[in-house]
Amino acid sequence: MLLTVDDDPSVSRAVARDLRRRYGSEYRVVRADSGPDALDALREIGRRGGRVAVILADYRMPVMNGIDFLEQAMDLFPRARRVLLTAYADTEAAIDAINLVDVDHYLLKPWQPPEEKLYPVIDELIAGWLASPDPAAGETRVVGHHWSSRSYEVRDFLARNQVPYRWFAADEPDGARLLAVAEADPAAIPVVLTPDGRVFTDPDLTELAAAVGLQTTPTAELYDVVIVGAGPAGLGAAVYGASEGLRTMLVERRATGGQAGQSSRIENYLGFPDGISGAQLTDRARRQAVRFGTEIVSAQPVTGLEVTGPTKTLTLGDGSQVQARAVVLATGVAYRQHEATGLAGLVGRGVYYGSAATEAEACAGQHVVVVGGANSAGQAAVFFSRHASRVTLAVRGPDLAASMSSYLIDQIAAIDTIEVRTCTTVVECCGDEHLDSVTLLDANTGESTEVPASHVFVFIGAVPSTEWLPERVVRDPRGFVLTGPDLVHDGRRPAGWALDRDPYVLESSVPGLFVAGDVRAASVKRVASAVGEGALAITLVHEYLARH
């Protein structure tokens, strides 16, 4: 855009007319009658992600003169070229403006003919602006503090949902400029600016999802199958359900992919000899499910399940309800909370559950501690070794072989910057604004060692997300859902089972409620097995719907 501001209506119309005549096919010309009005216009342009190439302002304006206006405009659009319109008597003030407040040029009024006195100047300024343009418009922008748990939560949510965004630190010039554009309180961060110009201060994830274009509410009241959880099992079920003609809805509380979606590199998944990142695999599966007709509802937890005859009623986090003829439970597991002293207060400020690939750049040259001994921890150690100066893999057990694939053990052994410390636990995390150090306890020697560390990534244990299920859904003592043969003992079917058949192999103690992936008791914790169970669950859904 080209913006011109002048309190004289005739001059304002004349400059806008001449600019449109020459540049109107490529640039929108915006006109304002005062400095404050022009600043409001610039803020609105900024909120909408627009770009301003040249600003022309009259020197003699009431309330705010042209120099003061251009100085404030520079804070909003620092790359825009600035021109002061002056009378001959104000030439000295114009020269001072060039020297003192970085005005790019001044033009004497009148500028007739424009072909000689206006257009050559604007042509040169636009050429300079094009050589160093504003950041591209059309992106979601996030302003926050790096060591803020809420800022991290927003960034992680956008990244895991494949939403392009640009990150700005609030205490740096570009971040401060965006806060000024949004007229947002610097203390109320994170602030999210969407491409359509809306501003969200410290949004919850459902609000944020809707703002960036993700679907957050169902479009129908009844589905053939509702899949709860969008990890590999849920995505597998969605692809096969929708492709086989079932009206399918997939609902996810956070982001598609689950824990697998956070994996930096999956190298033992069939069909990808060079490996694939969890994010790439997730994105392909999500697009495939959508292409077949799956409806994906994001940022919505399922908080309740009620069975009324053959229909299941699911209650979502916003209180709305949806009905399904069959349900596939694929909620996966969450990492078990670590009990080290001081760790809970530093989550999102140096301590993270899962891989948190958005932190990779911040790990450059730092010491990183990865806690855990399974594949996910090993993949994270390899990934962060490409950025950090040193990675410590803290493993509670005596070796890696019991829980980690051999190919990954070999990779770790070949990387000099990774130190594997077995029989070791993190017992304390220290830091004020962010993590500064961790204390490691060696179970063999009983010795504790405090080491500097900027980041800790936790990959321990597995806790199923099943607390919202009704009591009649039978679970093992750890909360994993029992299915099929595990529900039948000495020929006795589970209590309340009214059908004249045993539960199908992936069916829970509630007829028509199937379970796939890590949330199922005794499941194999691998991506391939989860995808396979998701596909098998749909085969069983077909059989169930045909009979009931």
Q: Are residues 86 and 150 in the same domain?
A: no
Residue 96's SS3 state is helix
Q: For 107-111, 217-221, 265-269, 300-304, which range has the lowest pLDDT when averaged over its residues?
A: 107-111
Q: Are residues 82 and 50 in the same domain?
A: yes
Q: What confidence tens digit (pLDDT) does each residue in 338-394 have? A: 999 999 999 999 999 988 888 888 999 999 999 999 999 999 999 999 999 999 999
More confident residue, 314 or 461: 314
Q: Are residues 290 and 386 in the same domain?
A: no
Q: What confidence tens digit (pLDDT) does each residue in 287-326 have? A: 999 999 999 999 999 999 999 888 999 999 999 999 999 9
pLDDT of residue 248: 98
Per the structure, how many domains does the chain have?
Answer: 4
Q: Are residues 233 and 250 in the same domain?
A: yes
Q: Are residues 202 and 296 in the same domain?
A: no
d(CA 310, CA 297): 23
Q: For 55-64, 205-214, 323-332, 512-521, which range has the lowest pLDDT when averaged over its residues?
A: 55-64
Mean per-residue pLDDT for 184-209?
A: 89
420, part of any domain: yes
217, part of any domain: no
Per-residue pLDDT band for 70 (boundaries 50, 70, 90) equals: confident
* Mean pLDDT, the chain, integer: 91
Q: Are residues 364 and 299 in the same domain?
A: no
pLDDT of residue 88: 72
Whether 229 and 517 have beta carbons less than 8 Å apart is answered as: yes
| pTM confidence score | 0.77
175, part of any domain: yes
pLDDT of residue 535: 97
Q: Where are the alpha helices (DSSP H) in 278-374?
A: 278-291
Mean per-residue pLDDT for 119-137?
A: 76
Give 64-94 as a 3 state SS string: CCHHHHHHHHHHHCCCCEEEEEECHHHHHHH
CATH number of the domain residue 305 falls in: 3.50.50.60
The domain boundary residue, chosen from 442, 458, 474: 458
Residue 397 pLDDT exceeds 90? yes
Q: For 268-277, 417-426, 480-489, which range has the lowest pLDDT when averaged over its residues?
A: 268-277
d(CA 283, CA 278): 9
Task: Give, for 29, the enclosing helix (H) or strand (E).
Answer: strand 29-32
pLDDT of residue 84: 87
pLDDT of residue 374: 92
pLDDT of residue 368: 97
d(CA 48, CA 261): 31
Whether 265 and 212 have beta carbons less than 8 Å apart is answered as: no
Q: What confidence tens digit (pLDDT) does each residue in 405-450 have? A: 999 999 999 999 999 999 999 999 999 999 999 999 999 999 999 9
Q: Are residues 326 and 356 in the same domain?
A: no
Strands (E), 170-310: 191-193, 199-201, 222-228, 248-251, 295-297, 302-308
Name the residue range of residue 194's domain.
Answer: 140-211
The domain boundary residue, chosen from 70, 97, 131: 131
pLDDT of residue 132: 67
The domain boundary residue, chosen from 458, 483, 501: 458
Q: Are residues 40 and 114 in the same domain?
A: yes
Per-residue pLDDT band for 67 (boundaries 50, 70, 90) equals: confident
Q: Are residues 174 and 118 in the same domain?
A: no
Residue 546 pLDDT exceeds 90? yes
Q: Are residues 229 and 328 in the same domain?
A: yes
Residue 134 pLDDT exceeds 60? no
Per-residue pLDDT band for 98 (boundaries 50, 70, 90) equals: low
pLDDT of residue 100: 58
